[in-house]
Amino acid sequence: MSTSPERQGAVAERIEKLIAAYGEGEGRPSRAQWQALAALPEEAPVTLLNFFKFRAEARYGTGSGEAPCTGAEAFSRYAAVSAPALERAGGHFKLLAPFGGSFIGADEDWDFVAAGSYPGRNAVLALFEDEDYRRCYVHRVAACERQKVFFCPA
């Protein structure tokens, strides 16, 4: 089922608001990445595969008011809020686990892996539109030295 032009316009407007709220790059999706997600069929389930490498010390901006901590501790601050927000958006986790190692292909070094499943792209957008999630995202950015997120339509 294709998306009507009116719905496409509404999704594009949602993406513009998300970019305005989060920015782009440095641990945030680019406009092209948002648009690739939005191009998925509206009713197609989607899974996000997340790979995280934590900083030794979290990097909060000057004057953030956040207590100094490790990247892993900052990520815990993020997870405490993001997990309930994911469920409110209609998603659920398929996997939350420490990274074990590479099995096939180039060796990679990560600390943590998460696979979140959503009923469709609108649920992913709803997660990022959640005010609690938006506010806690600063902890994710502060926590991660680097991260990769892939989306897989089901």
Q: How many domains does the chain have?
A: 1
d(CA 73, CA 68): 9
**What is the structure's pLDDT at 14?**
93
Strand order through the sheet with 92-98: 92-98, 112-118, 46-54, 144-153
- Determine, yes or no, domain membership for 2: no
User: pTM score > 0.85 for this model?
Assistant: yes
Task: Please check whether residue 88 is in contact with residue 129, taking contact to mean a CB–CB distance below 8 angstroms.
Answer: no
Share of the chain above pLDDT 90, in %: 81
- Determine, yes or no, domain membership for 135: yes
Encode pLDDT of 57-67 as tens digits: 999 988 888 99
Encode pLDDT of 66-90 as tens digits: 999 999 999 999 999 999 999 999 9
Query: What's at 60, amino acid-wise?
Result: Y
- Determine, yes or no, domain membership for 22: no
Taking 80 as the threshold, does the pLDDT of residue 6 lie above it? no
Domain that holds residue 126: 43-153
- Determine, yes or no, domain membership for 36: no
Would you call 55 helix, strand, or coil by DSSP? coil
- Determine, yes or no, domain membership for 10: no
- Determine, yes or no, domain membership for 121: yes
